[in-house]
Amino acid sequence: MAPNLEGHVALVTGASRGIGRAVALRLAAEGVKVAVNYNSGEAPAQQLVDKISAQGGEALPLQADVAEEAQVKSMVAQVRKQWGRVDILVNNAGIRKDRLLMRMTTREWDDPINVNLRGAFFCTKAVLPLMVRQRRGRIINMSSVVGVAGNPGQANYAASKAALIGLTKSVAKEVARRNITANALAPGYILTGMVEELSDDLKQMILDRVPMNRLGVPEDIAGVVAFLCTDEAGYITGQVIRVDGGLAI
C-alpha cells in the first residue's frame, strides 16, 4: 500500500469507467475518500461507489459536466461539505471525436477541447483555494501519448491533451511553494472501451509498435497515480510521465 494517504480526499473526474474507475478503486484501497464524478454514467458510478463501500472505503457519486463551470463549482462544494477538504484532484474526464482535420466540424473540434481541457481548468481552479489553505495538494492530469506525438484523425484530441501538458507545467510553477504538485500522465494504448472498439487488425498494428508487446490495463495507470499522491512523490512536479509500454521511445 502507498503510505501517507489514509484519510485523504480525492476527486476523480470521469470515474465511472475505464482508467478513472481503476484510479478511484486504487485510491480507495489506500484509504482515500473518493468523490466519483460522472456525467451520464449514473449506474456504473453507483456500482463503483457500492463496491468501494463494500470493501470498507468511503465514496460519493457526483454528477457534473466538467465543461460547465457552475456544475464544477457545485460539485467541489459538495465534496467540501461532505469531507471538508480536497487533497487530490485527478482530471481524467475525456472524450474523443475523431475525424481528419479537413473534414472536422467546428463542433467536433470544440467538444474534446471543452471537456478535456476546459474541464481540467475549471476543476483545478475550483480545488486550488482549498489546497492552498491546506498547504498540500496533488493534481494529476490525464494527458495521452497522442498529446506528445500526435495522431492522424485526432487533431482535436491531440491538441487538448498537448494543452493539458502546458497547463500542468504552468500550474506546477504557480503553486509549488504551497507544497502542491501538478503532474501529467501520458498513457499509451490502454484496454478501455475506446481501445476495445478497435478492430483486431488495428490492435495488432498497435502491438507491433509497443516494445512490451501488450496493451496496458487501467491498473497500470492507477498505480502511478497512487504513487504521485504520496509524500514520497512530493519533489516531483511539472512532469509528464509516459505509461505506454515503451511506445514513445
Instruction: Quote the cell numbers at residue 40.
Output: 451520464
Within-domain flag for 1 = no
Domain count, the chain: 1
* Residue 154 maps to a domain: yes
Q: Quick check: is 3 in a domain? A: no
Q: With respect to residue 2, please indicate whether it lies within any of the assigned structural domains.
A: no
Structural domain boundaries, residue 85:
9-242
Region of 125 on the Ramachandran plot (φ > 0 left; ψ -120 to 50 alpha; else beta): alpha
Provide the 8-state DSSP code for 84. Answer: S
Catalytic residue among 38, 157, 189, 235: 157
Domain membership of residue 149 (yes or no) is: yes
Q: What is the DSSP letter of 246?
A: T
Strand partners, 181: 138
CATH number of the domain enclosing 73 = 3.40.50.720
Q: Is residue 248 part of a domain?
A: no
Does a structural domain hold residue 58? Answer: yes
Count CA atoms closer than 13 A to 94's CA, side-chain side.
26
Nearest to 16 by CA among 44, 56, 53: 44
- 97 lies in a domain? yes
Residue 43 neighbours by CB distance under 10 Å = 10
Which distant-in-sequence residues (6+ apart) come within 8 Å of 168 by Cβ?
A: 139, 141, 143, 182, 183, 184, 238, 240
The reply to whether 157 belongs to the active site is yes
Which residue's C-alpha cell is 482508467? 19
Encode the chain (249 residues) as per-residue pLDDT tens digits: 556 899 999 999 999 999 999 999 999 999 999 999 999 989 999 999 999 999 999 999 999 999 999 999 999 999 999 999 999 999 999 999 999 999 999 999 999 999 999 999 999 999 999 999 999 999 999 999 999 999 899 999 999 999 999 999 999 999 999 999 999 999 999 988 767 777 788 778 888 899 999 999 999 999 999 999 999 999 999 999 999 999 988
